[in-house]
């Protein structure tokens, strides 16, 4: 699995169910990487999307125990061709769906609870690191330097804001 996230200087990722940082180039990077692939997320991340709709052109897998919410999406797959949504509540169920999509890449797209749960199953982390501190209530897990090495880094600037695109791989 591949993790993809955008963090502030404290590894913050979100506040009140929303993103804390929204950079156009990062959004484009996210779309380019994940389009046509599988994206794995938690319920709160799904609910943060526009109209609470799954990401277009991707196989969306959502962790939740919320049976009522799942009902709201019951006709979604039959009404859409290249966008699908599946709900799971444990890693066994996740793997059953991933097995159906073996030829695609499997991206873990957040939030905090899902990054924490799946980091040990991941081999790559794409991390956009923004040189700014924001108020946050959710965080990306600490990247253990004895497990992960930075394979690639590209510095960027938007106005006064510095940020970088980074790729970490498991040692």
Ligand X SMILES: NC(=O)c1ccc[n+]([C@@H]2O[C@H](COP(=O)([O-])OP(=O)(O)OC[C@H]3O[C@@H](n4cnc5c(N)ncnc54)[C@H](OP(=O)(O)O)[C@@H]3O)[C@@H](O)[C@H]2O)c1
Listed ranges 11-19, 95-103, 146-154, 155-163: which one lies at the site for ligand X (CB under 6 A): 11-19
Q: How far is CA 168 from CA 2, 38, 126, in A?
A: 10, 20, 7
Token pair for 76 = 């979604």
Binding mask 141-170 for ligand X (x = CB under 6 A): ------------------------------
Does 43 help bind ligand X (rule: CB under 6 A)?
yes
Interface residue with ligand X among 59, 60, 63, 86 (CB under 6 A) is: 63
Q: Tell which residue, 24, 47, 28, 34, has the closest CA to residue 111.
A: 47
Distance separating alpha carbons of residues 41 and 97, to the nearest angstrom: 14
DSSP β-bridge partners for residue 127: 5, 166
Interface residue with ligand X among 3, 13, 85, 130 (CB under 6 A) is: 13
Does 3 help bind ligand X (rule: CB under 6 A)?
no
Interface residue with ligand X among 37, 48, 80, 164 (CB under 6 A) is: 48
Does 138 help bind ligand X (rule: CB under 6 A)?
yes
Listed ranges 32-40, 59-67, 72-80, 162-170: which one lies at the site for ligand X (CB under 6 A): 59-67
Q: Contact at 8 Å (CB) between 4 and 55?
A: no
Token pair for 151 = 């394979």
Interface residue with ligand X among 1, 2, 6, 108 (CB under 6 A) is: 6
Distance separating alpha carbons of residues 78 and 107, to the nearest angstrom: 23
Does 19 help bind ligand X (rule: CB under 6 A)?
yes
Token pair for 34 = 């994940």
Distance separating alpha carbons of residues 88 and 9, to the nearest angstrom: 32
Does 113 help bind ligand X (rule: CB under 6 A)?
yes
**Site residues (vs ligand X, CB under 6 A):** 5-6, 13-15, 17-19, 41-45, 48, 63-66, 89-90, 109-114, 117, 138
């Amino acid at each position: 699995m591949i993790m993809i996230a955008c963090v502030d200087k404290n590894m913050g990722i979100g506040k009140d169910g929303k993103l804390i940082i929204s950079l156009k180039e990062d959004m484009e990077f996210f779309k380019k990487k994940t389009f046509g692939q599988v994206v794995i997320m938690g319920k709160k991340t799904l609910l943060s999307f526009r109209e609470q709709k799954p990401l277009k052109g991707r196989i969306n897998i959502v962790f939740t125990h919320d049976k009522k919410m799942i009902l709201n999406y019951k006709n979604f797959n039959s009404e859409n061709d290249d966008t699908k949504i599946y709900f799971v509540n444990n890693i066994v169920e996740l793997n059953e769906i991933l097995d159906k999509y073996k030829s695609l890449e499997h991206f873990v797209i957040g939030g905090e609870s899902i990054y924490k749960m799946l980091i040990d199953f991941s081999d790559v982390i794409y991390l956009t690191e923004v040189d700014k501190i924001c108020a946050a209530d959710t965080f990306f897990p600490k990247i253990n330097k004895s497990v992960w090495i930075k394979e690639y880094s590209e510095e960027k600037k938007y106005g006064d804001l510095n940020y970088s695109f980074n790729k970490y791989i498991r040692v």
